[in-house]
Chain A
Amino acid sequence: MSRERTWAAAFPVDRNDVELIRGAHPPRWKNPEPDGPYNLVVIGAGPAGLTAARDAASLGAKVALIERGLIGGACINVGCIPSKSIIRTARLYADMRDAESFGGDAPRRLHVDFDRAMMRMRQIRQRISRADSAETIAAEGIDLYFGEARFGGPDTVVVAGKRLHFRKALVATGAHPSGPAIPGLAEAGYLDNESMFNLTECPQRLLVIGGGPLGCETAQAFRLLGAKVILAQSDPMFLPGEERDAAQILSDALAREGIEVRLNTEVVAVRGEGGRKLADLVRDGDTTTISVDEIITGVGRSPNVDGLGLEEADVAYDASGIRVDDYLRTTNPHIYAAGDVCLEYKFTHTAEATARIVVRNALFRGRERLSELVVPWCTYTDPEIAHVGLYPAEARLNGIPVKTYTVLMHDVARAVMDGEEEGFVKIHVREGSDRILGATVVASHAGEMINAVTLAIRSGMGLHALADVIHPFPTQAQGIKMAGDAYRRTRLTSLRRRLAARWLAWSRR
């Protein structure tokens, strides 16, 4: 199948990438010789695999770690790290455009140096990947193998012609972008949320398919870097599953920045024509055709389960990934899974958290449960949208009466000073108590702010006590404390007020 040209170069793009490869998959790496059975064989050196291998090795386990591509997995190479690096540059340009509102002078002519933004991203990626280089891992006492791993039986993995026997194994092979099945898209050529980092020029006119976290982050970053962006989302709002007010604020922000927002819109066909790509968009039965230079899809990730010989090892899986129980054990009791290959929520931090569970459960007969994790997440748009715990609708469906304490960021002094008033803090508690069920924060630094709520939930701290936690003034995280203050005010019932007033009146006598 011949693909039309995309605007991306082939990896490695520059010497930063060459350095990255040298550390993350040394071309002349010599695989070790297996010497007896391993306590733990880990397939996949992404966040889950690295965490498990290191935790196990630091406790004295004999560990093998197998990687077919680059150490670091999607996160370092094609995920969070490159995307958030680019978002930082995008925010810089947004601030330059808004310089007047910060009391500064906006440049008369703003030139976006896309190449420099991408080069910075590659530098950062290479720098961060150094901590996980092959040599470092080997120096930590981990047997590092490069090659395609395949189970050769219920207790054996074969890699690069070597048979590795294990007492326990962990599958942490991650996931890959699932391209949408749109007729003509593959032929016309497109980028996904991995290959887009090889772009060397900013497409002038860009269609982003999918209004989930990946699509929204991508659309906003490219818009701020100067592209004309059309964002097509099949659902009626962005970030399906998030609270509607969060999605509303994001939708407004995207539109304000000049992104052409197309909700309730399906991309039904794509074709290449004269170096451009024509996409048919359908909304409520009406079709419109748009012409763009490039298409980026951000519509989800599929687990990497093919070619692993999972059948030989009696490990069951389906389209959503490897089947695990609450202890992250697969259908083979000696094999566990962690990270994107088995989880619904595919985040680096959940990959790492589940890897830690696996080390304890697999090697030390632990009984830690996936369902007991308190998992926050964040979409790195501006404003960011972070969430932890239950949504009100989830709570209500489970018969839990829920009440939300809302603080608008425009009431948070530091947010006003920073010109970052967009958003809110919503903390959901069980009605009639201060037990925190969950929270959503929409703010420029929501990802930082949500941590206080995660900590409170994890430690069983109620909203009442959260109000007593002293926050330095002025910080945006005070929004969290202010929700606690709002809770306290509602507890000041008329009876309490009357009793207090009577006491104070008596004190004056």
Chain B
Amino acid sequence: MLRADPATLSDDELLERYQRAAFGYFLENVNPDNGLVADTSRPNWPASIAVVGFALSCYPIGVERGWMTREAAVELTLAALRFFLASPQGGGEDVTGHKGFYYHFLDMRTGLRVWRCELSMVDTALLMAGILVAGAYFRGDNAREAEIRHLAEALYRRVDWRWAQGSSPTLRQGWKPKSGFLHYGWEGYNEAIVLYVLSMASPDRPASDDSYEAWTATYQWENIYGHDVLYGGPLFMHQFSHAWIDFAGIRDAFMREKDSDYFENSRRSTYLHRDYARHNPYGFDGYGENLWGLSAGDGPGGFRASVERRTHRFSGYAARGAPFGPDDGTIAPWSYPASLPFAPDICLAALRHLADRYPQVIDDYRLPSGFNPTLANRRRFGGDGWVSEGHYGLDQGIVVMMIENHRSRLIWDLMRCNPHIRRGLGKAGFSGGWLSQPTGPAAGGGDVA
């Protein structure tokens, strides 16, 4: 529940509260010994390497906003970076990573692989993006910050991106010791631009130059509900890479052809999600002008149930998308701050509507992974419907970062100056906009102390 009345707050005050509440997740769920951060706040949950990437990106925001001291941020950052460099790598079972990549979920204490999970390429990329933020932000002239810069560079450089292509031009999604590269289809536009940018920029083990083009060959440019969009169903696909890279005004070959850019595409996709909720083809409760946003996130569970004489299949943690589904009436409310820079008006309106109409799903300004008002007073669910238990690190991380990018552009500006990011974007064919301007004074990970 909310402890203060959000309706009385100005937009900036409101955003500050949501941002700070989300930021708190990382300090509450980090193991200070190794810097690992739990995937969710649920008891005994393992760490997610992507969440660590978000945490490393959020610490500088915490410092700038005065929510943590620079020393504390350095401490946690160093703990994580030292852990990842020293932790065991190899092709066997009981390790932390392989070929410079890391397993998706790690034991919070030992740092070893859990749940027989996959070595994850995109989650490693999100981790590396966070590591590069740390290297870019901590420019202090002292041994500890110099160590951060050194470790960041070393960790990024040792990732063997070419290996992760397997025998194909595009990057594989995952790998397991027994079965090798996972056989998941990963075509079409998604959250992976930052993966391709980082992989192509690598000074030592880059992905081949044709990888990005091979990936973008699977794009689909569509006119849906009157919007011309590069389609990606769940909203997080339009947010995650954007947390680190400001895509406004820079274009690759595809976007030059379409006379658009990825920032504009995220804006349109946000509106498309709102339009989908207005259509509300399945008649889910609450959907409309100010309740929208399907994304990857927690869900009420795997069961089939009839709602208003229609059979629906409700899922647990899953990627939900609009307009082609899947859609089980579960809204990811963190989508509003996460899309804030693209479409501030409708995101703020939705955020206010959420607090006004569904205050019970918000835990002192911290947003749940998902909630489902359609299930109110159905099956075993109470009057609030289903609300995700606890909080997820990915959701909290994107909330902190995108609100910050909206307020101050801090992460975007840091990464604009990072030579790896610029080189990767260049190799992927991006040009124009800020890429044609010289870098600012905050040089990136290239000039290692």
Taking chain A's interface residues, is the majority helix, strand, or loop, or is none over half, making it mixed? mixed
Question: Which positions 225-252 of chain A face chain B at CB distance < 8 Å?
Answer: 234-237, 243-245, 248-249, 252
Q: Are B228 and A490 in contact (CB under 8 A)?
A: yes
Q: Are A284 and B179 in contact (CB under 8 A)?
A: yes
Question: Which positions 105-145 of chain A face chain B at CB distance < 8 Å?
Answer: none
Contacts of A282 in B (CB 8 A): 179
Residue of B nearest to A392 (CB): B220
**Known contacts A244-B188, A252-B326, A396-B219; A408/B182 CB under 8 A:** no
Question: Which positions 44-78 of chain A face chain B at CB distance < 8 Å?
Answer: none
Q: Are A397 and B178 in contact (CB under 8 A)?
A: no
Contacts of B176 in A (CB 8 A): 284-285
Q: Are A101 and B217 in contact (CB under 8 A)?
A: no
Whole-angstrom distance between the Cβ of B213 and the nearest chain A Cβ: 10
Contacts of A234 in B (CB 8 A): 183
B162-189 near A? 1/0 per residue, CB < 8 Å: 0000000000000011110011110110
Tell whether B221 is near chain A: CB-to-CB under 8 Å.
yes
Whole-angstrom distance between the Cβ of B38 and the nearest chain A Cβ: 24
A468-501 near B? 1/0 per residue, CB < 8 Å: 0000000000000000001101100000000000
Instruction: Give the contacting residue for B325; candidates A248, A393, A397; CB below 8 A.
Output: A248
Q: Are B185 and A410 in contact (CB under 8 A)?
A: no
**Known contacts A244-B188, A248-B324, A421-B281; A256/B218 CB under 8 A:** no
Residue of B nearest to A266 (CB): B183
Tell whether A195 is near chain B: CB-to-CB under 8 Å.
no
Instruction: Choose, from A151-159, A306-314, A398-406, the stretch at the interface.
Output: A398-406
Residue of B nearest to A404 (CB): B222
Complex CA distance for A486 and B229, rounded to whole angstroms: 14
Count of residues in B whose CB is under 8 Å from the partner chain: 40
Whole-angstrom distance between the Cβ of A398 and the nearest chain B Cβ: 10
Q: Are B324 and A424 in contact (CB under 8 A)?
A: yes
Whole-angstrom distance between the Cβ of A427 and the nearest chain B Cβ: 10
Complex CA distance for A100 and B310, rounded to whole angstroms: 8
Q: Are B223 and A285 in contact (CB under 8 A)?
A: no
**Known contacts A258-B304, A284-B176, A411-B279; A403/B222 CB under 8 A:** yes
Q: Are B325 and A252 in contact (CB under 8 A)?
A: yes
**Known contacts A100-B309, A101-B309; A285/B217 CB under 8 A:** no
Q: Are A410 and B281 in contact (CB under 8 A)?
A: yes
Contacts of A393 in B (CB 8 A): 187, 217-218, 220
Contacts of B310 in A (CB 8 A): 98, 101
Complex CA distance for A476 and B220, rounded to whole angstroms: 25
Residue of B nearest to A283 (CB): B179
Contacts of B10 in A (CB 8 A): none
Q: Are B223 and A256 in contact (CB under 8 A)?
A: no
Contacts of A421 in B (CB 8 A): 281
Tell whether B313 is near chain A: CB-to-CB under 8 Å.
yes
Tell whether A372 is near chain B: CB-to-CB under 8 Å.
no
Work out how many contacts link A and B, with CB atoms closer than 8 A: 96
Tell whether A255 is near chain B: CB-to-CB under 8 Å.
yes
Contacts of B187 in A (CB 8 A): 244, 393
**Known contacts A393-B218, A396-B219; A256/B325 CB under 8 A:** no
Question: Which positions 235-263 of chain B face chain A at CB distance < 8 Å?
Answer: 257-258
Q: Are A404 and B324 in contact (CB under 8 A)?
A: no
Tell whether B116 is near chain A: CB-to-CB under 8 Å.
yes
Instruction: Give the contacting residue for A402; candidates B221, B312, B326; CB below 8 A.
Output: B221
Q: Are B312 and A256 in contact (CB under 8 A)?
A: yes
Complex CA distance for A424 and B310, rounded to whole angstroms: 20
Complex CA distance for A245 and B325, rounded to whole angstroms: 8
Complex CA distance for A404 and B188, rounded to whole angstroms: 14
**Known contacts A256-B313, A393-B187, A431-B257; A405/B223 CB under 8 A:** yes
Complex CA distance for A408 and B226, rounded to whole angstroms: 12
Tell whether A331 is near chain B: CB-to-CB under 8 Å.
no
Tell whether B323 is near chain A: CB-to-CB under 8 Å.
yes
Closest 9 CB pairs of A and B: A285-B178, A410-B281, A285-B179, A236-B185, A100-B309, A404-B222, A245-B324, A256-B313, A101-B309
Binding site for B on A (CB under 8 A): 98, 100-101, 234-237, 243-245, 248-249, 252, 255-256, 258, 264, 282, 284-286, 392-393, 396-397, 401-406, 408, 410-411, 421, 424, 426, 431, 486-487, 489-490
Known pairs A248-B326, A252-B326 / 15 extra A-B pairs, C-beta < 8 Å: A237-B185, A244-B188, A245-B324, A249-B324, A256-B304, A258-B304, A284-B176, A396-B219, A401-B257, A404-B223, A411-B279, A424-B324, A431-B257, A486-B226, A490-B228
| Contacts A/B (CB < 8 Å), 29 sampled | A236-B183, A236-B184, A237-B185, A244-B187, A248-B321, A248-B326, A249-B325, A258-B304, A264-B184, A284-B118, A284-B182, A285-B177, A392-B220, A392-B221, A393-B220, A396-B218, A396-B219, A397-B217, A402-B221, A404-B220, A404-B223, A405-B222, A406-B222, A406-B223, A406-B224, A408-B281, A408-B323, A411-B279, A486-B223
